Amino acid sequence: MSEINKKTHDCKVSTKQCDCENHPHKPHVSIGKIIAKVPVVLAELTLQVNVDAFIDFPEPVLEIKDIKKQVKLTQCRLLLPTNKLFVKGFVRKNIQYASPSKDIEQNTSKSIASDIHSYTVDIPFHCVTEIKDFLACPVMPEVNKRQEFDFFVSKSLPSGFPEKDELLTSDLSQFHQESSQFYNEIPFCELINSKIIEWDEAIDRVHLPNAPIGEGYFTKIEEKMVVDITLKVLQNQQIRVSSTTNDDCYHDYDDDCECD
């Protein structure tokens, strides 16, 4: 009986991307005059925040290579029934910089050794602005109400008063109250875009020994920023939607959505 040489083969699976067909579904909608609760845009505005801050680096900095910035809002509150908008947040900054080598002997009159590091810091800001032109009027909050009421009682009087007289008053041993609480829709914000113009300048730069002319390092910068923030202020409101037909709408690849 001859022996058969067995060879192991790796299982290889290959796939290729192909197109797949789809079939659109017609949504079920209600016809007629309907009351819907949807976010309504109260205002869309661009506000400008001026920031002046100091940044301390954890090590000497030879030069800044790049700065990536991102605006983050932690509060955006329209204080009803006023038109004052309170905005609070910070600018997240990731600073990439070159730090000179700790071994000064590596430096020469024509070269300098350095390492590329990064440092992330949050620059806070806050401001209050006034919304002068509303696109839609906000629904003002309903005020909670609380009212007390009493019941009439008559009681006999002690000695010293005429026998037929009575004490006409309310009962102090009882407490009656009617209260109403309203759970209002609070306005909220959406961040649309932001723009930052900044000026960074070292304030403690010193000369780097045993290095080319003009080379130095610093550990602290003063930063000035003008931050433009565009946002929407919205509030959930009830609106009337009127529809008399439910026409089909098709979408062509090159054309806009057309309805018959």
Per-domain residue ranges of the chain: 32-139+186-242
Whether 179 has a pLDDT exceeding 70, the answer reads yes
Kindly tell me the sign of the dihedral angle through the C-alpha atoms of 160, 166, 172, 174: positive
Cis bond before residue 81 (omega within 30° of 0): yes
DSSP string, 44-58: EEEEEEEEEEEEEEE
- Angle at alpha carbon of residue 127, lines to 96 and 74, rounded to 5°: 60
In tens, the pLDDT along 193-234 reads 999 999 999 999 998 887 788 889 999 999 999 999 999 999
- Angle at alpha carbon of residue 74, lines to 73 and 75, rounded to 5°: 95
Please answer whether residues 130 and 45 qualify as being in contact, where contact means their C-beta atoms are separated by less than 8 angstroms.
no
Please answer whether residues 237 and 40 qualify as being in contact, where contact means their C-beta atoms are separated by less than 8 angstroms.
yes
In tens, the pLDDT along 120-140 reads 999 999 999 999 999 999 999
Whether 43 has a pLDDT exceeding 80, the answer reads yes
In tens, the pLDDT along 54-90 reads 999 999 999 999 999 999 999 999 999 999 999 999 9
Global confidence as pTM: 0.76
- Percent of the chain's residues with pLDDT above 90: 59
Please answer whether residues 71 and 194 qualify as being in contact, where contact means their C-beta atoms are separated by less than 8 angstroms.
yes
Q: What is the DSSP letter of 108?
A: -
**Beta strands per DSSP E along the chain:** 32-61, 63-79, 84-100, 114-130, 145-149, 152-156, 166-170, 176-180, 188-202, 206-207, 216-243, 249-250, 258-259
